[in-house]
Amino acid sequence: MPVLGRDVTVPLVTGGEVTYAALDYAASAPALQRVWDDVAAYAPYYGSVHRGAGYLSQLSTDLFENSRATVAEFLDCRPGDQVVFTRSTTDSLNLLAAAVPADCQVFVFETEHHASLLPWGSPHAPGRRGSDARVTYLDAPRTPARAVEILERALAARDPYGPALVCVTGASNVTGELWPVKELAAAAHAHGARIVLDAAQLAPHHPVSVTELDVDWVAFSGHKLYAPFGSGVLAGRADWLQDSQPYLAGGGASRKVARRADGGVDVEWHTTAARHEAGSPNVIGVYSIASACKALTEAGFDALVARENHLIATVRAGLAEV
C-alpha cells in the first residue's frame, strides 16, 4: 500500500539530499495514498454535519455516519455497541475516564502508554467523574502469561461489589510486543470487571475484533492508522457512556434545550454516540479513518503481517552483518 510522501527527499548534515526512510511509524504514520486521494476527492464537497438541509451538508452527514458504520465493521463491534469519534486515543481514554461510574476501581499496568496511564483517578486526571476512580498500578510482566497472573491476583483482591475497569495495551509502542488481550479480557470478566483496549499500535498491524477479543471498549487513533487528519475512535458498550454527563457540553450533544421559568436551562442530551461529540465534527478526519479501515481490510491482515515479518527478517539480517 503506497503512502503519501514516499519519494520525499531530505537534506543531509553532510550536504546533499537523500530519499527519506520513515522509521517512526510507532509515533505517527503517513497517510496512505488512497486515504489522501479519498480526502482530496471529498474536500470540494465539504459541508456541515447534522447542521444543514443543503446538498453538501446532507452529503457530509451521510459520509460521517457511513464512516461510523465502516469503523464498527472494521472492529467487528457487537449489536448495540457505540462508535464515538474523538480527537485521538488519548482523547478517547479521557472520555471513558470521565464516564466511569463513581468509585470505580481501575487496574493499569505500569508499562502503559501515558494516554492510558494518566487519565484514571490521579491529580493529572480531568476534574470529572473519572477522577473519583481508585487506581491500582500493576507491575510490569516479564511474559504474557505473567501478565494474566498479575491481573488475576489483583482482581481477586479487589472489592467485589463495586465497578471495576482494566486498561491494557494491545501492542507496546516501545517494544512492539503483543499482549494477551483475549486472556486478559477473560480474566477481567471472570472477576466482574470490564476492560478497555488501547489499540493505537495494534489496529494498524493486526485485526482487532471487539467480539472475538471480548473487550468492552477499544480506542485508537487515525494518525497511527495511516489517516493523520486529527481523529480517533472509542468504540464499545453504550451503558457507561449513556449514563455519564456529556464529555463536552454543546451543540450536537443535545436533543432539546429549553429555558425554564426560573431563568435556568433544561437540556435533554442524546443517548447515542452524539452525546459525546459536541461541536462541529472533524468529518475529514473521520472519513480518512474509514478510508484507511477499508484499505487495510481489502489488503488483508495476513498479507500485511507477512510483509512486516519479511521486513523484520531483512533488518535483523542486515544488522547482524554490521
Q: Got the DSSP string for 206-270?
A: S---HHHHT-SEEEEETTTTT--SS-EEEEE-SHHHHHSPPSS-STTTEEEEEE-TTS-EEEEE-
pLDDT one-digit tens code per residue, 101-153: 988 999 999 999 999 889 987 665 554 444 567 899 999 999 888 999 999 99
Model-wide pTM > 0.85:
yes
The amino acid occupying position 210 is V
Check pLDDT > 80 for residue 225. yes
Coil, helix or strand for 200?
Answer: coil
Q: Is residue 227 part of a domain?
A: yes
Dist CA 178 CA 205 (whole Å): 11
The residues, ordered by sequence, that sit 6+ positions from 97 with a Cβ below 8 Å of its Cβ are 119, 120, 121, 125, 126, 128, 130, 131, 133
Q: Is residue 96 part of a domain?
A: yes
Residue 129: per-residue pLDDT: 47
pLDDT one-digit tens code per residue, 276-313: 999 999 999 999 999 999 999 999 999 999 999 999 99
Rounded to an integer, the average pLDDT of 206-218 is 98
User: What does the mean pLDDT of the chain come to?
Assistant: 93
Q: Which of 250, 298, 299 is nearest to 277 (CA)?
A: 250
CATH number of the domain residue 125 falls in? 3.40.640.10
Residue 144: per-residue pLDDT: 85
What's the domain count of the chain?
1
pLDDT one-digit tens code per residue, 251-260: 999 999 999 9
Residue 133: per-residue pLDDT: 73
Dist CA 79 CA 77 (whole Å): 7
Q: Is residue 237 part of a domain?
A: yes
Q: Is residue 5 part of a domain?
A: no
Going 73 to 79 to 81 to 82, the CA torsion angle's sign is: positive
Q: Is residue 25 part of a domain?
A: no
The C-alpha cell that represents 321 in the structure block: 552483518
- Which helix or strand (DSSP H or E) is residue 195 part of? strand 194-198
The residues, ordered by sequence, that sit 6+ positions from 74 with a Cβ below 8 Å of its Cβ are 208, 293, 294, 296, 297
The C-alpha cell that represents 17 in the structure block: 539530499
pLDDT one-digit tens code per residue, 33-51: 999 999 999 999 999 999 9
Residue 136: per-residue pLDDT: 93
Dist CA 122 CA 78 (whole Å): 32
Q: Is residue 221 part of a domain?
A: yes
Residue 126: per-residue pLDDT: 54
Q: Is residue 13 part of a domain?
A: no
> Residue 116's domain spans which residues?
36-320
Q: Is residue 308 part of a domain?
A: yes
Residue 176: per-residue pLDDT: 84
